[in-house]
Structures are given as structure tokens and as C-alpha cells.
Amino acid sequence: MEGRITAEWEPLRKAVVHKPGIEMFFGLLDPSASLYERAFNQTAATAEHEKLVSALRDQFGVKVIGLLETIAHYAEKDRKATEALVDTALSHIMFRGDRKNVGLAKMELMRNVDAYDPYYFLNIILLMPSMVLKKSKGISAIHINVTERDPLANLYFMRDQQAVTDKGIFLSRMSKPQRRHEPELTRLLWKMMGLKISHETSSPGTFEGGDFIPMKDFALLGTGDRTNRSGVEQMLKYGQSFHEVGVVHQPTHPLIPSNEPDPMVDMHLDTYFNVAGSDVVIGSELLLSRAAVDVYIKEGVSYRKEKKATNLLDYIKSKGFSVINISTLEQLSYASNFLCIRDHKILAVKSNIIMKSVLDNLGFKAELDKKRYGALLSQAKKDYQKFLSFSQRFPHKREMRDYGIDLYAVDLKNITGGYGGARCMTAAIER
């Protein structure tokens, strides 16, 4: 059913994507401040995104829905959709400066609302412009200074603005201010499409879709830097109705000093763990064994927390799943951030061709802060040398064949520089 998903390995039918545009340019002006992992070629990244979409459509027959294109389509056809888009856009444009000129600018904008096309308003939401209007003395001229305020540079990671559960769409409240406004745009799409929104995460809660994985008889829900305790409580109360939920605590990386953790290296559950089929998962055992799990059992309309604690490695094995282990460098190169197409069939990132870029970026970090990143870099280098000798790098690992996993690998060398892979870039809405 569209807008409801119960298991990650059920056949993927529909997915929503966003082709990155001008907002990515602004993100690349300061990659770190924009939550990107590294700098990359925007033109090549856009082409890679098109390859991802083509693979979904042509190789797997998935119906791919473009975020902006679909909102624009509804806005062109339906007056209420137009009004919703315009209202959202107008709440994100700011005029400052000379009172008279600000008043005239606002009046001009409102007077011409019907003259603009939907993409005009979509660009306002993407870039959130602030305009300072200042009149020069002695001449008839207005100087315009336009500033972009937290442009939605991460919007193409369409997984995170919501989770699609067995009850419908659970709308996110993003943890970082750079991403806080993204669900306002995706909310427009879900409402225009008539999909049920089961709950919208409210303050002080934060929740992001990369922290949720449905597993048919149970679900996994990550918590840590991006999804906090209140977000977990809201998901348990309003967002889903699985009999059992394993709440997975984001592990600190053992190769980074505990007094200086870097939550970006495993920011979401799906950055170090993912599901390839109904009986097999892929992840970093180094991190899975350190990820504490609280088990919640549904009783009536609420959940009871079991007293016995466990970790994700033991928990997932107790559910009958085999684990394909990935190395430190493979995990850093988005090996676990593949997209499950159907049982034992995945669309994987070509992690093997990303590794050099990841190593170079990690080397730069280690130069700036050896104490913090030295051990992680050393292990990543060891992994790389091992791979050069034995050529068993994800996704081309012997274990993939042993467990009967059919894969299609896509070159996402540049676009993964935004800090995410194939799963992050797709919002599955029907399986």
C-alpha cells in the first residue's frame, strides 16, 4: 500500500527523489558547515544522481517520483495546492532595510503571486532568501543585498525527512538547523498526494528517517545525534505499531577518543547497518557490537521496555539473521547505505571507487587533529592495503555470493560526498 511499509525487503514499487540543483552549489561553498563529508564535483554529482534514478526505473521497474516536479504538477492543477505552496514560500522570504522600500517590495510580491510559476516559490523554499533593500542618497537607485539562509543543501537525501511505517508517514523534525526546514517541503508533497501523515515530530523531539528500518515482525529505531529520546518516544506512541521495537543507541567509534567523538561517522542507523534480505543483514560488527539495544514490547496501545539489555549484533542474530561484516574503510565508504530492492536484491554504491576519496579526506582531518583521527586513519589505511592485495572490497565480496545476494552497483563517487549513499537518497513510499 502506498505510504505504508512493513519490511525493508519487500519489493520496492515507488520512491521519491530530489535531483540536487542550485542549493547544492551553496552547500559546496562550505562543505563542512553544510554537513557534507567532503568537496566534490557538482556537475558529476548531478549526473550520478541521474544514473541512480535510471537504474531504479530501467533496471528494477520502480516508479520514481521527483519531489519538485510533482509539487509543481499539483500546484498547476489545483488551487488549494497552489495556496499551500505559496503560503509556505512566503513564510521563508525575508525583506529588511528601508521601511518604505520593504513595504513596496512585499506589496509587489503579493500583487504578482499569480504571475509566478510554481518553481519560483519552490526556489524560495530551497534557498530561503533574505533581501536587504537600501536606498542610496542623491540617486534613484535601490541596492539589493540577497543572502541565502540555510539553503536546503541536504534535501537530496530524501530518506531523512520522514519514515514510512506500517501506520503511514511519520514526519521528521531534523536535528541540525541546516536541515530543519526540509520536512516543510516534503509535507507539501505528502498532503498533495493524499498520503496519511501519522504524526509530525514536535519539539523538543528530533527524528530522522535514516534511523528507522522496518523488519516485518519488529522494527529498528536508532537514537543518538540525529534522533533523540523525545523523538523515540513520539515514534513509539504515534508512529508505528510493530509488536516489538529495538531502540538502537548510536555507538561511539572505538577508534576515535571517547572525549572527542565524531557522530558524523555513524550519524544514522543505516550508515553502519542495513538489510539485504529476510534473513541477512550487512554491517560493521565493530559498531554493531557496541550499539546498545533497548527492546520494547507492545502491550495494548503502549510499549513496555524489557529489563534485559543487549547489543545490535546479538539482537539481530537472535532474530535469525546472518551478518555480513564490513571493514572500517568499507563502512566509511557507504557500503551499508545500499537500497534493498527486494529480498536478496540490492542497489549498492560502488564503495571500492569511493575509498581513495574517503582516505584523502580522512587524511586531511588527521593532519589537523591527529589525536582524534589518527587511529581511524591508520585502520582505514590497513584496510585499503589489504583490499589492494586481495580485491575483496564491497560490493564485490565473496560473502555476497555465498548468501545469494544479487546486486547492481552504481558509481556515486561524487554525490556521496554529501555524506550518504543510495538509501539516503531515496524515500521509499511503497513496497
Divide the 431 residues of the chain into consecutive groups of 10 and give the mean pLDDT of each group: 96 98 97 97 98 98 98 97 96 88 87 94 95 71 76 98 98 97 98 97 98 98 98 98 98 96 97 98 98 97 94 98 97 98 97 94 97 98 89 87 96 98 98 98
Other C-beta atoms lying within 10 Å of the C-beta of residue 39: 15
Cβ atoms of residues 145 and 178 within 8 Å: no
What sign does the CA torsion over 35, 41, 45, 51 have?
A: negative
Amino acid at 87: D
Strand partners, 310: 293
Could you give the maximum distance between any two Cα atoms of the chain, in Å? 79
C-alpha cell at 409: 552497483
Give 260: exposed, middle or buried? Use CB within 10 Å, 0-12, 13-18, 19+: exposed
| pLDDT tens sequence across 35-51 | 999 999 999 999 999 99
* All structural domains of the chain: 14-68+152-430 (3.75.10.10), 71-148 (no CATH)
List strands edge to edge, sheet with 63-66.
63-66, 14-17, 427-430
Q: pTM of this prediction?
A: 0.95
Return the half-sphere exposure (C-beta side, CA atoms, 13 A cut-off) of residue 42. Answer: 14
**How far, CA to CA in Å, does 284 sit from each of 60, 92, 96, 171, 300?**
27, 41, 50, 28, 35
